[in-house]
Structure 1
């Protein structure tokens, strides 16, 4: 309600709402969208160069007037912004002083120095409007008696504020619960789910699995004893097969609900059909070769490579040609889809790619391949070894419920051999807290034990975090 105290912000909020509703209804054609992009790419350069000490130097030689196309040389010659730039520039990258923000967040800093991520009211209005319009396509189908649990990673993360605000916009009651907090804990979190009759839950995939374990450890069944019917999962890699298993465990529809970062805010959000859609009114998306930085040409209409984004709104920390470090597949929009936007598949960080059997594969595709043949597991991890013959070997380790072992299709071995050219085994184990660290460190550090190489810094950080949690 803060906007009623500021007429200018109230007008900004109405404009964002109306534009996004019109876009979602199919009211923006290609020409209008390109005009919007070009105008705001120019504005991004002008605004950041005028207000950010970092961008004043970084974009000093860029001529905004020369930017007449979102794909022309004037734009693609603009220098990238990298994660190293954010770490070194810190507060100099801001385009508004910290005192003009409404809230301060920062990255987790588990594998490097934290970077400041304050947000002003325009940041929150722009991003939360996207989520409100996207998520309305989902929650409108679940009645008027919904109670939504929000379970995020830390107090300095945008998770709770963002989803709480979006649920308020949609008229949904919210219970913020932090199971890793010593004041809450998992037992109390499970009790809250039961006592309040929580019907939807925002959390990471790892948290959804951990909560399912705790519910079962209490002698309960999430499908029978809880009312959760919608799982809005974010913060970690989430392949379709992992989502399907989590949904089955809970008796709920599991969505890959959000692709975002503390640094760049909302980059993609789910629609009712399960697609993860771009937000083209607030971001400009490019896909580049991770090695060369050159634009990637579409193959069958699909672009695969590292995602680069530019904010199309003027907040506290808009980023220009920011290299996310994430591999994506970007597919053109479909007229029959929930939203008239391009679809994103987030394949994992560029450094999370693996070479198995001499073939390079993303974390997303490896997870989807292996988990497509199993259901009913409470957790998983992948172990990679080199056999006596020098060939790679994979073992998929599954954590089972005591009373309900996972279902494994024997075809997993032949299928994985056909795709990767390696032998695959299936085993059982219990993993403790290590598999819950993906959102704080990386998918690979949480999910993969690669015995072919030395322990890297991220794996060491994941192990330390897991030890602290246990």
Structure 2
């Protein structure tokens, strides 16, 4: 099913004309209403009226995540707060998240675009959809929730965790579509088997909408074998909207149709910022074309991918984004949660009795990610008393969990037990298989 044929199947020249008109409106709006952009454009020596073609967007400066943090919480909003009806946020490196606002129209657009990607994946109004993302400031759960309701599906807001109960809900409610991270859904499959329930034979799940973490084609095959489902990918990020930016159709797995009537997507060289051609791998840069509360110009996502411009056998004419293969920065994604090493360091440095020597180890146990923080105890605190160490370990774990929104493992080490480096310290060891 094609949710919005008028836009998803639009002739390329007509689509480019619509993009150009909306891009001009966006540039004029941010220049008039957002002091940051007025200053940024003036420093570059460009005005909104300098945009004559879509290619002219290359003359305008990039926006980075640091700009959102520097103007925390509302400094980049293009509407007064009274017009903002929803706020979401992502985690920040120093306790300052990136805050995203939505007007009523923004929420309507978001729901439409999520309905679009859900229809691409094969969801229908007959489906019962169980959402296993955590509800809260994270955009994933609410974004998928309202979009799937817009499509007409029955939505179960199960949230994350309590895996045995998740399996019972699937069985009792007749769940046909699962939404979540692929690693958690694999874990749910293992949980079902431990309960004596074979997922592909005794449950009704036929389709998965997965996101929030990188996952390989091998994991796709394992999901499909375990559940007897079709596993699909979708992409979005909170700064530009959330889920709904693009998604896989049934004809071209591994590539995702972009909602080009709402987003202008470029690929640039991560080092130089120079634009790259179709088919060349680089950093994904997104300009919002219809966002009211938080319009962004040339936002550097730090995600690595490439673009395919050719029409798809499904009939859609929008360009497609290949599955994201990695990031240019040091952010870790652990079970769908963004984690920065600097967040961990900030917490550790505030705890008395901890030495400034630590290492972060990320890996998988079964299908689930784990994060282990190995940290040395300060010499003066190393009493050798087991209960003292237990109390310190629990204190560190609780402090980290409060900041990271996940429960890390904590391993206390003897003084001077971590390898010292003469150059830049290697803080992160990621033992997970590469996507």
TM-score range, shorter chain: 0.7 to 0.9
Other-structure match for 1:313:
290
Distance 1:271 1:129, change over 3 A: same
Other-structure match for 1:288:
268
RMSD across aligned positions (CA): 3.1
In the alignment, structure 1 residue 39 sits paired with structure 2 residue 3: no
Deviates more, 1:161-170 or 1:315-324: 161-170
Asked whether the equivalents of residues 121 and 315 of structure 1 are also in contact (C-alpha less than 8 Å), the reply is: no
Deviates more, 1:228-237 or 1:41-50: 41-50
**Residue among 456, 462, 469 paired with 2:427:** 456
Asked whether the equivalents of residues 329 and 347 of structure 1 are also in contact (C-alpha less than 8 Å), the reply is: no
Deviates more, 1:102-111 or 1:223-232: 102-111
Q: Distance in 1 between the 2:429 and 2:60 partners?
A: 31
SS in 2 for 1:236: coil
Q: Distance in 1 between the 2:306 and 2:202 partners?
A: 38
Q: Distance in 2 between the 1:148 and 1:68 partners?
A: 44
- 1:147-186 equivalences in 2 (<5 Å): 147-180=128-161, 185-186=162-163
Distance 1:340 1:458, change over 3 A: farther
Q: Distance in 2 between the 1:179 and 1:34 partners?
A: 40
Other-structure match for 2:259:
279
Other-structure match for 1:422:
none
Q: Distance in 1 between the 2:155 and 2:367 partners?
A: 31
CA offset at residue 457 of structure 1? Answer: 6.4
Q: Which consecutive unaligned segments of at least 5 residues does structure 1 have?
A: 1-17, 354-396, 400-428, 463-470
Asked whether the equivalents of residues 3 and 115 of structure 2 are also in contact (C-alpha less than 8 Å), the reply is: no
- 1:203-282 equivalences in 2 (<5 Å): 203-256=180-233, 258-265=234-241, 266-273=244-251, 274=253, 275-282=255-262
SS in 1 for 2:75: helix
SS in 2 for 1:41: helix
In the alignment, structure 1 residue 434 sits paired with structure 2 residue 370: yes
Other-structure match for 2:397:
none
SS in 2 for 1:32: helix
**Residue among 341, 348, 351 paired with 2:326:** 348
Distance 1:222 1:215, change over 3 A: same
Asked whether the equivalents of residues 150 and 164 of structure 1 are also in contact (C-alpha less than 8 Å), the reply is: yes
After superposition, the C-alpha distances for 1:327-368 in whole angstroms (9 at most, x for unaligned) are 012112324235221121112212369xxxxxxxxxxxxxxx
Aligned length: 347
Asked whether the equivalents of residues 309 and 319 of structure 2 are also in contact (C-alpha less than 8 Å), the reply is: yes
SS in 1 for 2:235: strand
Asked whether the equivalents of residues 111 and 458 of structure 1 are also in contact (C-alpha less than 8 Å), the reply is: no
Q: Distance in 2 between the 1:435 and 1:232 partners?
A: 25
Q: Distance in 1 between the 2:268 and 2:63 partners?
A: 13
Q: Distance in 1 between the 2:91 and 2:190 partners?
A: 25
Other-structure match for 1:366:
none
Q: Distance in 2 between the 1:331 and 1:456 partners?
A: 36
CA offset at residue 255 of structure 1? Answer: 0.3
Other-structure match for 2:165:
188
CA offset at residue 70 of structure 1? Answer: 0.9
Other-structure match for 2:347:
none
| 4+ long deviations beyond 6 Å | 457-460
Asked whether the equivalents of residues 210 and 231 of structure 2 are also in contact (C-alpha less than 8 Å), the reply is: yes
Asked whether the equivalents of residues 129 and 175 of structure 2 are also in contact (C-alpha less than 8 Å), the reply is: yes
Q: TM-score, normalised by structure 2?
A: 0.72
Q: Distance in 1 between the 2:28 and 2:299 partners?
A: 16
In the alignment, structure 1 residue 21 sits paired with structure 2 residue 5: yes
Asked whether the equivalents of residues 288 and 296 of structure 1 are also in contact (C-alpha less than 8 Å), the reply is: yes
Distance 1:202 1:88, change over 3 A: same
Asked whether the equivalents of residues 121 and 249 of structure 2 are also in contact (C-alpha less than 8 Å), the reply is: yes
**Residue among 82, 98, 105 paired with 1:122:** 105
Other-structure match for 2:51:
67
CA offset at residue 240 of structure 1? Answer: 2.4
CA offset at residue 117 of structure 1? Answer: 1.0
Distance 1:193 1:290, change over 3 A: same
Q: TM-score, normalised by structure 1?
A: 0.67
